[in-house]
Structure 1
């Protein structure tokens, strides 16, 4: 037995595709309305400009998508995605120099955004009751009783994105609509025009800009390239230095023996041209970044993105929520993309939607309240992480900015706390495991910092550091190549035994 005849998803990007998977078991038909004509292969398209930048598929997101679409991860790997252990396969330039390599419990799947979407589209198209209508623009929602407890969205209106001779507007009735239209969604304005209260919005924009270029990796890589991923963290030096020392840089591996070189900053101007991109790369904190680019063959122009503010449309705070519609992905909560939370948060919301649909008999106010409450609990974790960092920047704007004194306190604490956690994680597998869980949205930072065993590990690290008892070295010269030694306890002995 289903909950209705038709569900409609607005938008066919990651959030919309995940929503389609959540809806399919509960409706006779699911229709996805997408403005672009979707490519058959892994290709960039107009509606997803951010696909030209690196995308981390966090573990919480990859598990959620695999839950919605069994076999997704295997298909992604088969299509070229790479299953790597960042602590062994990535070279990290931290505060004072290169971090040491060592094994950990955290693994990740690396691929491009366009490949993730292509594999997910294939999964959606394999669902017998899901239909994707491409090349159409949503123009509005149909409603009844706007602003009342029984008021609901009853359908959507749309037209061909490219005008045709008959070019008229179409209407599609729906038992449930999912807004997956992203940051620029107009749905909240349409609902306000229909009689519902304006949605309260929380915002914080730290002025993040990032710029990327794609490369083919060389067939014969230098012997020193034990790494597959380069990460250069912003400097913590408060003295005079080039702006590029403030950049967060990635040389990010993707399928097809390719990599994406990406530089980003908070509140600084970024390169737009190839010449400026190359010149900026030569001024970052290690020469390896520019050298890696120079050893590769560029295959794209420079792509720049500025639309990076955090924005949470608080539908859960409306006194009367509209029935017949839910919100997912950036349409409800968009994050600073630096923190790689968007895909995972959207997939998590889709899992919540599926669970709430399975536990309800009617799509009434009670259902929508339950869904929004469960979604709010999930979104608080990534939102809190984004606020913890972005609120510390003097250039940040929005409703969630702090008074100057609080901002200064937060800014003064951010790096020392980060250094303490990462330092302890090098020495303590329990702290390392919890820090990995926080990074992958499996645990909130607050939960981690309230864990007695984690607190013990942090204090022990502080004491051992003061006494000079560190067991894992770090801070290797950033002007040299990162050392490839495996500092996992026992690894050196095992290597020696294997050679002997």
Structure 2
């Protein structure tokens, strides 16, 4: 204990568990208040409906969680998580057809959200001064002299706990800003953009023996770049996503389009996506769940950093401060990075005063700006997008016209240029901003060189393989090495 007797975390999901790990070295007791009864194993629960959909754990998130909980990555893999290299282990359909298979700078751990949280809960249980109370409804905060002093909640009855520090990890629907407003603080300005993303998932058991043609573990189908007439399903982003236990999650998502919600309609819709491989793969597997549909996908950033006056001894992590379109797989990684940032600031703090609050929120703003701008770079191009970050129509059309070709240019150049590949992996994993990558002279040279070579038909690594055929298994890594 160095900064206080008791710290309280509101919410026991991934963000709250990471926050508990950040707080543990600096307070005598860390109390996590969670509404659900938490399962011992990897099981779904009411408070995390998105657990039924695919979750990437980006490299920045892997490192942040590993710093908070040493051994996390090894434990996750031991529990069934899959350490894969997407460029070698995924069949990727982008642009006109399948991309080539090759080694790259990026690896990822695949696993379900419920497995990630189960391993996190196990790590938290190893912390002697962390207590998780389940079945608790948080009702409000107590405040005095400009700072939060405690938390009111209901378990068997009404209770109150004095707190030296509070972390809000209650997610998108957090009521904390309303409680603060009722106590006299200004509400933070909120930036929003809802691109009307809907996605549907169904879980499957893989066959005991994989077909010989399945060199791939992960199947990705990007929306078509074709501007002519085509089935609506060609606009879908599709994943056949591997998880632990020899299972996969088949997922389809779209921006502003209707999605099926029944099992029959799910199977019929799958047959109209850009390649028959997706539906054929599902046919070889055994369904083990109904269809799960999610529409709560808007980007939302509560800008507490912009307040001149804010409640001291209170910070926010995860979706309670910044929620992203889940398509971009930024949630857990951003939340864990915020928790690690909090630990770093606590390690240097002498007092939890206004200066501490200002410094932390300023640093967190810089951290969140990277994933936020990535989400805006695509979502602002959709005509269906609404919110404070909605663009004038001429700018929206420009973004829509530029974003997809620019992304394909970077992906194509990364196939042939190891430096572009390295920086693209950093951007994808939230280790570098898109702007910083595009200001790098060597990256720009690689993009220009790729563009010129493409115009001359001199690709080192082929692409655009027929989407109606099986994706090629050939390893083109040596062609990339020749570009050094």
TM-score, normalising length: structure 1: 0.95
Deviations 1:255-292 (A, max 9, x none): 00000000000000011000110010000000000000
Q: Structure 1: which 5+ residue stretches go unaligned?
A: 146-150, 161-166, 494-500
Q: Does 1:394 align with 2:383?
A: yes
Q: Structure 2: which 5+ residue stretches go unaligned?
A: none
The 3-state SS of whatever aligns with 1:344 is helix
Deviations 1:370-404 (A, max 9, x none): 00001000000000000111011111000010111
Contact 2:416–2:479 under 8 Å retained in 1:
no
Q: Over the residues paired in the alignment, what is the CA RMSD in angstroms?
A: 1.1
Contact 1:392–1:407 under 8 Å retained in 2:
yes
Contact 1:212–1:261 under 8 Å retained in 2:
yes
Q: Which runs of 4+ in 1 moved over 4 A?
A: 490-493
The 3-state SS of whatever aligns with 2:254 is strand
Equivalent residue, structure 2, for 1:354: 343
Measure, in 2, the Cα distance between the counterparts of 1:346 and 1:435. 21
Q: Does 1:177 align with 2:160?
A: no
Contact 1:486–1:492 under 8 Å retained in 2:
no
Correspondence for 2:404 among 415, 422, 434: 415
The 3-state SS of whatever aligns with 1:140 is strand
Equivalent residue, structure 1, for 2:56: 56
Equivalent residue, structure 1, for 2:308: 319
Deviations 1:170-197 (A, max 9, x none): 0011000000000000000000000001
Measure, in 2, the Cα distance between the counterparts of 1:490 and 1:452. 23
Measure, in 1, the Cα distance between the counterparts of 2:102 and 2:77. 24
Equivalent residue, structure 2, for 1:153: 148
Correspondence for 2:321 among 315, 327, 332: 332
Deviations 1:450-487 (A, max 9, x none): 00000000011111111221111111110011010001
Equivalent residue, structure 1, for 2:282: 293
The 3-state SS of whatever aligns with 1:98 is strand
Map 1:33-432; keep pairs closer than 5 Å.
Answer: 33-145=33-145, 151-160=146-155, 167-432=156-421
TM-score, normalising length: structure 2: 0.98
Measure, in 2, the Cα distance between the counterparts of 1:283 and 1:419. 23
How many Å apart are 1:168 and its aligned residue? Answer: 2.8
Contact 2:271–2:278 under 8 Å retained in 1:
yes
Measure, in 1, the Cα distance between the counterparts of 2:301 and 2:22. 22
Contact 2:198–2:254 under 8 Å retained in 1:
yes
Deviations 1:121-163 (A, max 9, x none): 0000110000000010101111113xxxxx0110101002xxx
The 3-state SS of whatever aligns with 1:9 is strand
Contact 1:391–1:401 under 8 Å retained in 2:
yes
C-alpha distance 223-441 of structure 1, shift in aligned 2 (>3 A) = same
Measure, in 2, the Cα distance between the counterparts of 1:104 and 1:33. 42
Correspondence for 2:464 among 448, 463, 475: 475
Measure, in 2, the Cα distance between the counterparts of 1:348 and 1:318. 22
Contact 1:87–1:101 under 8 Å retained in 2:
yes
Contact 1:7–1:23 under 8 Å retained in 2:
yes
The 3-state SS of whatever aligns with 1:475 is strand
Measure, in 1, the Cα distance between the counterparts of 2:238 and 2:456. 33
The 3-state SS of whatever aligns with 2:99 is coil
